[in-house]
Structure 1
Amino acid sequence: MGIRPEIHLGSWLIIWVFITTSNSEGLNLKPVIGILSQELSSKMDDKTGNLYTSYIAASYVKFMESGGARVVPIMINQPEEYYRGVINAVNGLVFPGGSSSFRSLSSGYGRAGSLLYNLVREAKEMNDTEIPLFATCLGFEMLLYLDANKINPLSRCNASNLADPLNLSPDFEQTEILGSASQDVLNTLTTTNSTSNFHKYCVTPQRFNELDLQKNYTIVSTSFDREKDDEYISTVEHKRLPIYGTQWHPEKNSFEWAFSSIPHSREAIRAAQYFANFFVEKARQNNIRYSTAESRTFPLIYNYKPIYIRLLYKSSFQQCYFFK
């Protein structure tokens, strides 16, 4: 056990602490994952009585919990000090999917995502602290947008309410996210319609290269839209940091039921679960402590009650956590 030197950033004091709750390999046995909230859609806002400012789909919470982590919701529209505190309190971050804008100047999701992305890189540069980040669908798109210096990498495509396989890149075995996957998981991902897609925008390999995104990211897989004529990037991994992105939704296989396209076979669920296990294992390697002091500022998701949103309208989510 040891304590890193204090770091003064303006009026904000950050103290990095190694925790003692670990096993013989030094892994953190109580990892905490922060999931970024986002603005409600207009329909969701109307159906919930215009009472809330942000939400998180419960499937993302359950997905991280299924890998052995606890979850902290990250609120939008907070001061910079709040997000610096998040980085000091959690062992990993999730940028979830949804329908919010991330390019609008008024987007709380976009502003928080941009700041957190910069803080993840800053933590590595300043303290050699690696905070894993998993970005899905909208989060995936925001990830590449931010790395492209906020130049839009997206084009329209038809891949909503669609299940399909992944086309792995030739060097996928050298990546962390799939290099350690078992053969049965790889077979499921590549030979069956096992990945759930709900997106209308894509990043094509051509656009990826035009924006020089290959400098920082490896293409792990591609997929094709419904017409099978537009190839798009479906999985990426950062070349130096534990940052991973999927345009598809591994959290839906086990926890969302609204659409028949969502794969629920034993094999598809096992393949999706691999990604929860993989990411939480990466978070276990980060020994930042979530303490009583942090719990007062960043309360665990257990302090909130999900709403069965499907009772209110035909949503793609079964349950959501809402925040005022």
Structure 2
Amino acid sequence: MGVSRKRRLIIDSAFACLMVSSPGVLAQENLPEDRFARGSSYIAASYIKFLESAGARVVPIRINRTEEEYIKIFNSINGRLFRNFPKDVLQSLANENITSNFHSWSLSMQNYSRNGKLKRFYKVLSTNSDGEKEFISTMEAYRYPFYAVQWHPEKSPFEWIDKPGMVHTAAAVRVSFYAGSFFVSEAMKSQHRFSNPAEEDRALIYNFSPVYRGSNAIFVQSYYFD
């Protein structure tokens, strides 16, 4: 989609994911061209910092594990956003190009409106335009703590590659802060916990070290997993 021209706020809240007492971040398979890659999967360090900056301790959720391992992790999970944003931050979101939009695929309002199941499950909170097409940039489930975004709230404070859409203004950083605070406040609603402190300590991201990939990399730092 490239850089979004303008954001249209539709109602009053939202974002992306399921939450845990210590929020979980799902790893991805290593990119073929990643010369820093170790093991089979990674998590961008900016994703971790984004949640840590809001006061969370993060649990990496690795991919391609057994069903039993996932059940153990998600038994520790809980499962709105713009509602508590200051008015000036909402105005910046609506009128300034301060969100990072880098994906080629999107969900258009037209396709959303045609899908009855999507309309019943998700409420659209904001849309963006690349100058030609309007696409959904933020939505949330009506009845569940499920959130989806087509923008990157973590990039403004933590990623530094020189490319269009990578914005580091004070307004962009404030958006990231309030989005991160929202995520962590959702996680704090969970009544699920690890069975004991030792088990939680073994699961935390602190057991891994991020790898510096250079200021021109798409992710400045990444965590890698076997």
Partner in structure 2 of residue 66 of structure 1: 53
Q: Do 2:27 and 2:60's aligned partners in 1 also have CA atoms closer than 8 Å?
A: yes
How far the C-alpha of 1:179 sits from its partner, in A, is: 2.2
Match of 1:179 in 2: 83
SS at match of 1:70: coil
1:237 aligns to 2:225 (yes or no): no
Larger relative strand fraction? 1
Q: Which residue of 1 aligns with 2:217?
A: 315
Counterpart of 1:172 in structure 2 is none
Q: Does 1:254 align with 2:157?
A: yes
Percent identical among aligned pairs is 40
The one-letter amino acid paired with 2:132 is D
- Pairwise CA RMSD: 1.8
CA distance in 1, matches of 2:156, 2:21: 23
Q: The residue matched to 1:267 in structure 2 has which SS?
A: helix
Indicate whether 1:38 and 2:28 are aligned: yes
Matched, 1:292 2:204: no
Aligned to 1:219: 124
For 2:62, the equivalent position in structure 1 comes to: 75
| Paired letter, 1:217 | Y
Q: Secondary structure at the match of 1:69?
A: coil
Consecutive unaligned residues in structure 2, runs of 5 or more: 1-19
Task: Report deviation, 1:201.
Answer: 0.8
The separation in 2 between residues aligned to 1:48 and 1:193, in whole angstroms, is: 32
Q: Distance in 2 between matches of 1:289 and 1:250?
A: 27
Once the two structures are superposed, the pairs formed by residues 1-324 of structure 1 within 5 Å of their partners are 31-44=21-34, 47-48=35-36, 51-90=38-77, 131-132=78-79, 176-212=80-116, 213-225=118-130, 228-260=131-163, 261-290=165-194, 291-292=196-197, 294-295=199-200, 299-310=203-214, 314-324=216-226
Q: Return the index of the structure with the highest Cα Rg.
A: 1
Contact 2:127 2:135 in 1 (8 A): yes
Unaligned runs of 5+ in 1: 1-29, 91-130, 133-175
Q: Distance in 2 between matches of 1:188 and 1:306?
A: 32
- CA-to-aligned-CA distance 1:139-162 (integer Å, 9 cap, x gap): xxxxxxxxxxxxxxxxxxxxxxxx
TM-score (norm: length of structure 1): 0.60
- Structure 1: 4+ residue segments shifted above 6 A: none
TM superposition shift of 1:279: 1.2
Opposite residue 152 of structure 2, the aligned amino acid is H
